[in-house]
């Protein structure tokens, strides 16, 4: 494992996505791996940590999630804006070399075959909680976070450190038409 990647206490895993970043969703089933972008991912519970993510019926990733029962939510960085937009606008079904062309490099954690995208700032391994009505009606998927990790260059001691990290580590917040906002300055009340 990259020396900069450290486990995140599951009780604080919600903090990784609490600020509403655009995420990458990855999954693997029977040798097929895909990665897509999702602006519509959100924390759902603290303990055990759960989250929601909207995965359209047209995506190749959806079948991988449904069949494997697991997926990864990871937080891409400003340095990965083009990668994020590319995996969000190209389909593996039409472009079998989508991941290579997008510059995605994958790695795994010990004792797991979940595909993690290198260079992200944090990763949440999720077990699908099947909710057929939500999935069919709203494309809404619920996952329980079973493990989480973050890069210590931007997340340390249970807190994001965007203020002190290089700006290339900031999270992305998608709007539309290839436009993102980076997360900005910290405000304490």
Residues that bind its own copies (CB under 8 A): 12, 15, 18-22, 39-45, 50, 52, 54, 78, 81-82, 85, 133-134, 138-140, 142, 159-160, 162, 170, 172-176, 178-189
Which residues on neighbouring strands pair with residue 34, listed in sequence order? Answer: 27
| Residue 71: both structure tokens together | 């997926």
Q: Are 76 and 120 in contact (CB under 8 A)?
A: yes
- Residues 39 and 73: their CA atoms lie apart, in Å, by 11
* 134 versus 152: smaller Cβ distance to its own copies: 134
Q: Which helix (H) or strand (E) holds 132?
A: helix 132-138
- Residues 42 and 52: their CA atoms lie apart, in Å, by 5
């Amino acid at each position: 494992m990259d020396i900069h990647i450290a486990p995140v206490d599951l009780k604080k895993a919600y903090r990784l996505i609490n600020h509403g970043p655009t995420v990458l969703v990855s999954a693997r089933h029977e040798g097929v791996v895909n990665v897509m972008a999702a602006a519509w991912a959100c924390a759902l519970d603290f303990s055990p940590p759960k989250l929601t993510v909207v995965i359209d019926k047209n995506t190749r990733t959806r079948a991988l999630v449904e069949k494997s029962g697991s997926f990864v939510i990871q937080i891409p960085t400003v340095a990965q804006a083009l990668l994020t937009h590319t995996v969000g606008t190209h389909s593996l079904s039409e472009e079998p070399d989508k991941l290579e062309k997008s510059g995605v490099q994958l790695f795994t954690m010990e004792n797991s075959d979940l595909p993690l995208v290198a260079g992200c700032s944090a990763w949440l391994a999720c077990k699908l909680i099947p909710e057929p009505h939500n999935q069919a009606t709203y494309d809404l998927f619920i996952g329980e976070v079973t493990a989480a990790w973050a890069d210590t260059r931007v997340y340390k001691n249970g807190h994001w450190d965007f203020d002190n990290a290089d700006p290339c580590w900031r999270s992305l917040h998608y709007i539309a038409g290839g436009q993102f906002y980076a997360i900005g300055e910290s405000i304490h009340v």
